[in-house]
């Protein structure tokens, strides 16, 4: 079989084998996927997993793609596996919720070519709407779970996972967390070994999942669980380190193992790399050699419950927090408590200084600022939001988003608010905000539900031509593929029309043109029935964005009204404040401003609310010229 692989633009010559490279966990997984001879790798961007496929796209000899959502990425990987090709997909924890429909049946068909699913949990929630423990999927779907503790292990376990998948015909879950994905460490890499697919074999009993076929295959899942328990018991990925101080023994996997070793270098540890099914004999051996057992797991009380159910006494979440990241600083006092020792109070010098928060902000010239500035000026609306940079519209100064749940939820939530509201909300207008990438991920179905069920919702579709929050990845509407090559470009206005929105209710506006934007929203929310306003401007962090001439504030003209500050641009700064008594007797604080012309890219959003025309273009001679690009 000689399938033609896609031509990759500028594939890097990958570093040679036995190189010692400083790689993030994501980069290490990507290297291992490439070395394993994988032919198909798919993902939708999601922090902290995004860089796996981004790195893979730079390797030759495989098809890497941005899929429209995680479920599709898993289906693409499964299809490739059906041909005997090695296949891979990667996602963040909430992405696996989306893909789980495929996962729960894919486990029954099993894998043919090695099939590995990388899932990255955002423990501590640096960039997610919730904190989930993806280890549960191993139990739920009856598939093995591997948990690396650093980049080198991420590399090695990924390679191991493909062999395991093929030998036992099972998808394998590679469970990562932020502290694996985004930690760089040294990795010794190896050679790529090509893997030729054996070919698709028609086998409806295996690949056509109807009840009769599924019934014959499901018992094999339970047998597979038992077989894999034996494999896990014998696996060198599960290591019992005997230690010398036997007062407390530890069970740990992933980053938690490193914290245990850092805090208690002399203690016995059962390090679980092959963490599901876990090895009962090794667990008993550990329990027998130490006085007490502490299960150190981030987030959920999962292993602890299972170990107790196996009749082994242990501690865990009675001593340790149930959310957030662990660290030696958390573990040491917990073990002191377990041993009945007095826990010394933390040193005052180690207490953080209390200062202002610095939440993430929209960038200078971000087109979303125009949207939220406008929404903040409109009364009597309920605004449902979604997942992306534009979730920041819930923050200061706009406070213009009322809900955020999950990818695409804005549509269904808006429709539900519309249909569920009683007399008290009767006069409110319902607005649903969604980004272009999120719309294509999971918003289209929700919009169809709005049109089909005659919802009274005005949708703001923020088309910035990229997946912004994860760093600017291509989408089906950006006209580029994962390599930056030209790709078919979907027309969002046509999609919206095809989903049942009347042509005259589809408006395309420029979010930098505040008066037009304001009028369009005001007009559309007054009309019953669904409308879609597509606000189109590129994200300022992608190549499509071309900066304009920056602005400055003419000091003598600024009256300190502060209107421009309400736009929320990080390039606007207050130079001084003055308290004045108005003729009405009311005291007001004036805020006089300037503009950081290194940061300003001249969108002009702040110019529009400035009553005294104090904001003017920087004279051409003063525009900063960068001679060195770093």
Partner 1 sequence: MSQNDITNILVCGIGGQGVMTATEILAEAAIAEGHDVKKTEVAGMAQRGGVVTSHLRFGRKVLSPQIEPGTVQVLLGFEGAEALRWSHYLRPDGLALVNNAKLVPPVVELGLFDYPEDPTGQMRAAGRRVVSFDAMSIARDLGEIRLGNTVMLGAIADYLPFSPDVLLACIVKRFARKGEQVVEANRQAFAAGREAVAKQLGANSSNPAPAHA
Please tell me whether residue 566 adopts helix, strand or coil conformation: helix
Note the maximum CA span of the chain.
86
Window of 251-259, 525-533, 548-556, 611-619 that interacts with partner 1 by CB under 8 A: 251-259
Segment 75-134, which members bind partner 1 (CB under 8 A)? 124, 126-127
Q: Measured from the CB of residue 170, what is the shortest distance to partner 1 in angstroms?
A: 31
User: Is the separation of the CB atoms in 46 and 26 below 8 Å?
Assistant: no
Binding status of residue 246 toward partner 1 by CB under 8 A: no
Question: Which residue, 181 or 286, has its beta carbon nearer to partner 1?
Answer: 181
Q: Which of 105, 543, 577, 611 binds partner 1 (CB under 8 A)?
A: 577
The answer to whether residue 424 forms part of the interface with partner 1 (CB under 8 A) is: no
Q: Candidates 169-177, 432-440, 551-559, 573-581: pick the segment binding partner 1 (CB under 8 A).
A: 573-581
In sequence order, the 6+-apart residues with CB closer than 8 A to the CB of 490 are 440, 476, 477
Interface positions, 253-282, toward partner 1 (CB under 8 A): 255, 258-259, 261-265
Report the nearest approach of partner 1 to the CB of residue 322 (Å). 19
Which is nearest to 474 in space by CA: 440, 443, 442, 432? 440
CB of 441 to partner 1, least distance (A): 17
What minimum distance in Å lies between the beta carbon of 577 and partner 1?
8
Stretch near partner 1 under the rule CB under 8 A, chosen from 34-42, 418-426, 529-537, 591-599:
591-599
Nearer to partner 1, 78 or 251 (CB): 251
Instruction: Choose the binding region for partner 1 from 139-147, 155-163, 361-369, 451-459 (rule: CB under 8 A).
Output: 361-369
Nearer to partner 1, 75 or 156 (CB): 156
Q: Does 629 bind partner 1 (CB under 8 A)?
A: yes
With binding defined as CB under 8 A, does residue 55 bind partner 1?
Answer: no
Q: Quote the least distance from Cβ 296 to partner 1, whole Å.
A: 12
Least gap, CB of 88 to partner 1 (angstroms): 22
For partner 1, the closer CB: 455 or 568? 568
Question: Could you give the CA distance from residue 196 to residue 85 in angstroms, rounded to a whole number?
Answer: 7
User: What token pair was written down for 475?
Assistant: 């989408």
Task: Give least dist CB 468 to partner 1, A.
Answer: 9
Contacts of 151 (CB under 8 A, 6+ apart): 23, 24, 25, 27, 28, 180, 183, 184, 185, 186, 187
Q: Which is nearer to partner 1, 164 or 183 (CB)?
A: 183
Nearest approach, Cβ of residue 357 and partner 1 (Å) = 7
* Interatomic CA distance for residues 93 and 109, integer angstroms: 23
Across 182-205, b (16+ Cβ under 10 Å) vs e yields bbebebebeebeebebeeeeeeee
Q: Write down the least CB distance from residue 58 to partner 1, Å.
A: 17
Q: How many residues bind partner 1 (CB under 8 A)?
A: 68
At 376, list the tokens. Answer: 């903040």
Instruction: Give the Cα separation of 166 and 83 in Å (integer).
Output: 13
DSSP helix/strand/coil, 621: helix
User: Does residue number 377 form part of the binding site for partner 1 (CB under 8 A)?
Assistant: no
β 615-617/248-252 pair status: unpaired
Q: Which stretch binds partner 1 (CB under 8 A): 390-398, 453-461, 475-483, 603-611?
A: 390-398
Contact call for residue 589 and partner 1 (CB under 8 A): yes
The Cα–Cα gap between 361 and 380 comes to: 25
Cβ–Cβ under 8 Å, residues 503 and 497: yes
Q: Is there binding between residue 624 and partner 1 (CB under 8 A)? A: yes
Residue (383 or 572) nearer to partner 1, CB: 572
> How many Å separate Cα 319 from the centre of its chain?
30
Taking CB under 8 A as the rule, does residue 396 contact partner 1?
yes
Answer yes or no: are the C-beta atoms of 410 and 384 closer than 8 Å: yes
* Minimum distance from residue 90 beta carbon to partner 1 (Å): 15
Please tell me the distance from the alpha carbon of residue 563 to that of residue 575, in angstroms, as a whole number. 15
Q: How many residues does the chain have?
A: 630
Stretch that binds partner 1, among 337-345, 465-473, 507-515, 553-561 (CB under 8 A): 465-473
Out of 100, 247, 361, 403, name the contact with partner 1 by CB under 8 A. 361
Q: Determine if 352 is a binding residue for partner 1 (CB under 8 A).
A: yes
Beta-strand relationship, 457-463 and 506-509:
unpaired
The pair phi, psi for residue 403, each rounded to 5°, is -145, 145
Sheet containing 531-536, strands listed edge to edge, beginning at the edge strand earlier in sequence: 381-384, 429-435, 457-463, 531-536, 506-509
Asked if 175 and 92 touch (Cβ cutoff 8 Å), the reply is no
* Side-chain-facing half-sphere of 158: CA atoms under 13 Å: 33
Neighbour tally for 419: CB within 10 Å: 12
Dist CA 574 CA 414 (whole Å):
37
Question: Quick one: which of 69, 374, 437, 470 contacts partner 1 (CB under 8 A)?
Answer: 470
Residues 289-328 that bind partner 1 (CB under 8 A): 325, 327-328
End-to-end CA distance of the chain: 46
* 308, 570, 609, 617: which one binds partner 1 (CB under 8 A): 570
Q: Which of residues 392, 447, 501, 605 is near partner 1 by CB under 8 A?
A: 392
Q: CB neighbours (10 Å) of residue 604?
A: 18
Site residues (CB under 8 A) for partner 1, limited to 484-523: none
Site string for partner 1, 321-350 (x = CB under 8 A): ----x-xxx-----------------x-xx
Which of 397, 484, 547, 612 forms a contact with partner 1 (CB under 8 A)?
397
When asked if residue 13 is in the footprint of partner 1 (CB under 8 A), the reply is no
Contacting positions for partner 1 (CB under 8 A): 20, 22, 47-48, 124, 126-127, 150, 178-179, 182-186, 255, 258-259, 261-265, 325, 327-329, 347, 349-353, 355-363, 389, 392, 396-397, 469-471, 541, 565, 568-570, 572-574, 577, 589, 591, 593, 598, 624, 626-630
């Amino acid at each position: 079989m000689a399938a033609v692989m896609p031509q990759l633009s500028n594939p890097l010559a990958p570093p040679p084998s036995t190189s010692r490279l400083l790689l993030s966990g994501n980069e290490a997984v990507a290297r291992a996927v490439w070395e394993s001879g994988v032919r198909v790798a798919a993902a939708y961007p999601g922090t902290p997993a995004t860089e796996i496929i981004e790195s893979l796209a730079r390797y030759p000899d495989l098809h890497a793609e941005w899929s429209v959502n995680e479920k599709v990425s898993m289906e693409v990987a499964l299809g490739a596996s059906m041909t005997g090709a090695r296949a891979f997909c990667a996602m963040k924890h909430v992405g696996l919720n989306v893909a789980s429909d495929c996962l729960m049946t894919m486990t029954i068909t099993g894998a043919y070519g090695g099939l590995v699913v990388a899932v990255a949990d955002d423990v501590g929630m640096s960039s997610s709407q919730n904190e989930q423990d993806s280890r549960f999927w191993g139990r739920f779907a009856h598939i093995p779970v591997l948990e690396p503790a650093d980049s080198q292990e991420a590399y090695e376990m990924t390679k191991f996972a493909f062999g395991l998948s093929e030998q036992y015909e099972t998808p394998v879950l590679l469970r990562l967390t932020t502290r694996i994905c985004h930690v760089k460490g040294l990795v010794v890499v190896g050679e790529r070994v090509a893997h030729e697919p054996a070919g698709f074999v028609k086998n409806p009993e295996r690949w056509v999942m109807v009840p009769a076929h599924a019934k014959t295959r499901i018992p094999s899942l339970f047998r597979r669980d038992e077989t894999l328990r034996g494999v896990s018991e014998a696996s060198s990925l599960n290591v019992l380190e005997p230690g010398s101080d036997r007062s407390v023994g530890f069970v740990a996997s992933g980053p938690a193992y490193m914290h245990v070793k850092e805090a208690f270098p002399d203690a016995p540890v059962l390090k679980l790399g092959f963490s599901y099914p876990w090895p009962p004999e090794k667990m008993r051996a550990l329990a027998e050699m130490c006085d007490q057992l502490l299960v150190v797991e981030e987030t959920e009380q999962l292993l602890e419950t299972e170990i107790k159910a196996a009749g082994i006494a242990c501690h865990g979440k009675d001593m340790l927090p149930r959310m957030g990241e662990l660290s030696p600083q958390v573990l040491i006092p917990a073990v002191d408590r377990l041993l009945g020792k007095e826990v010394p109070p933390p040193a005052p010098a180690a207490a953080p200084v209390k200062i202002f928060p610095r939440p993430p902000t929209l960038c200078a010239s971000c087109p979303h600022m125009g949207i939220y500035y406008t929404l903040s000026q409109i009364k009597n609306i309920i605004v449902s939001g979604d997942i992306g940079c534009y979730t920041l519209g819930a923050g200061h100064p706009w406070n213009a988003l009322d809900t955020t749940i999950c990818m695409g939820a804005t549509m269904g939530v808006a429709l539900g608010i519309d249909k569920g509201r009683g007399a008290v909300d009767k006069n409110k207008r319902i607005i649903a905000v969604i980004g272009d990438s999120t719309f294509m991920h999971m918003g289209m179905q929700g919009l169809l539900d709005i049109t089909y069920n005659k919802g009274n919702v005005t949708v703001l579709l923020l088309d910035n031509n990229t997946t912004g929050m994860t760093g600017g990845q291509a989408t089906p509407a950006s006209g580029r593929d994962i390599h930056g090559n030209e790709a078919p470009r979907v027309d969002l206005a046509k999609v919206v029309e095809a989903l049942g929105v009347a042509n005259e209710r589809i408006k395309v506006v420029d979010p930098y043109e505040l008066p037009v934007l304001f009028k369009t929203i005001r007009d559309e929310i007054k009309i019953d029935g669904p409308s879609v306003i597509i606000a189109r401007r590129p994200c300022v962090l992608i190549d499509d964005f071309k900066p304009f001439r920056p602005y400055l504030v003419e000091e003598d003209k600024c009256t300190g009204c502060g209107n421009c500050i309400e736009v929320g641009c990080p390039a606007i700064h207050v130079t001084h404040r003055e308290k004045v008594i108005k003729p009405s007797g009311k005291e007001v604080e004036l805020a006089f401003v300037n503009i950081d012309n290194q940061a300003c890219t001249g969108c002009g959003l702040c110019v529009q609310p400035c009553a005294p025309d104090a904001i003017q273009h920087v004279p051409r001679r003063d525009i900063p010229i960068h001679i060195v690009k770093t």
